[in-house]
Amino acid sequence: MKQTYEKQREAMVKEQLLGRDITDEEVLKAFLKVPREEFVKEKDRRWAYDDYPLSIGYGATISQPYIVALMCQILKLDKNSVVLDIGTGSGYAAAILSKIASKVITVERICELAEIAKERLKRLGYSNIEVIYGDGFKGYAKGAPYDGIMVSAATEKIADAWVEQLRVGGRIVYPKYDGIEQTLVEVLKTQSGIKEILHGGVRFVPLIK
Ligand code: SAH
């Protein structure tokens, strides 16, 4: 069974990531290392490597692998990076980020999800991830400054706290909701302020206040 998942994982990387526009070697390597079947509901394991998000309960979803890969690639991280992940959900994106960066702090506002993710990441041996139960809009000042911030739930605008907690030269990637649709936005922090770069259309659950 284990080998089956491994084969599915390799096929997912080849078809859904390399087959699209994911070229960052470290991102591709990370996706080969994280067992996505461990992050979905038991009954959904056979669909763990399919090209779409899956419900994980509490109104949350584990994002489509390609979108997580795209967000990682946009952040341009390296092995020294410290990353803030907002919306822990299953913990999958945090696990992927932990294979690329040196430290990941992940914030989740639903206590049960935070607890489940914490247990899961501990059981699977991820030692450079800290799961925080709290409000992602506030970021997490104690771990700042961050080299990258990944926001996995849609919001109309970025929180001031995120920009404050980001180092100059760092990036935020988030789904921007304009009342009708969502666009993936890259925010670059420069000495003189922030610059926004638009990527494609996406669909995330809302970031809740
Ligand atoms: N990155 C996740 C996907 C999470 S879905 C994964 O890989 O599985 C979005 C998550 O954001 C949900 O778990 C939801 O509960 C959480 N969320 C919504 N509003 C939030 C807020 N204000 N702060 C932190 N997390 C929030």
pTM flag (> 0.95)? yes
Peptide bond into 35 cis (omega under 30): no
pLDDT of residue 209: 86
The rounded distance, in Å, linking the Cα atoms of 38 and 36 is 5
As to burial, measured by CB atoms within 10 angstroms (0-12 exposed, 13-18 middle, 19+ buried), residue 72 is buried
Contact 97, 83 (CB under 8 A): yes
Q: Report the alpha-carbon angle 197-95-174, nearest 5.
A: 20
- Percent residues over pLDDT 70 in the chain: 99
Atom of ligand 1 nearest to the CA of 85: 1
Class of domain 2-201: alpha beta
pLDDT in tens, 7-31: 999 999 999 999 999 999 999 999 9
Q: Is 63 a catalytic residue?
A: yes
- β-pairing, 54-57 vs 60-62, is antiparallel
pLDDT in tens, 63-85: 999 999 999 999 999 999 999 99
Q: Please determine, for residue 1, whether its predicted confidence score (pLDDT) is greater than 60.
A: no
Centre of ligand 1 to C-alpha 99, Å, is 20
The rounded distance, in Å, linking the Cα atoms of 29 and 132 is 26
86 CB less than 6 Å from ligand 1?
yes
pLDDT of residue 33: 98
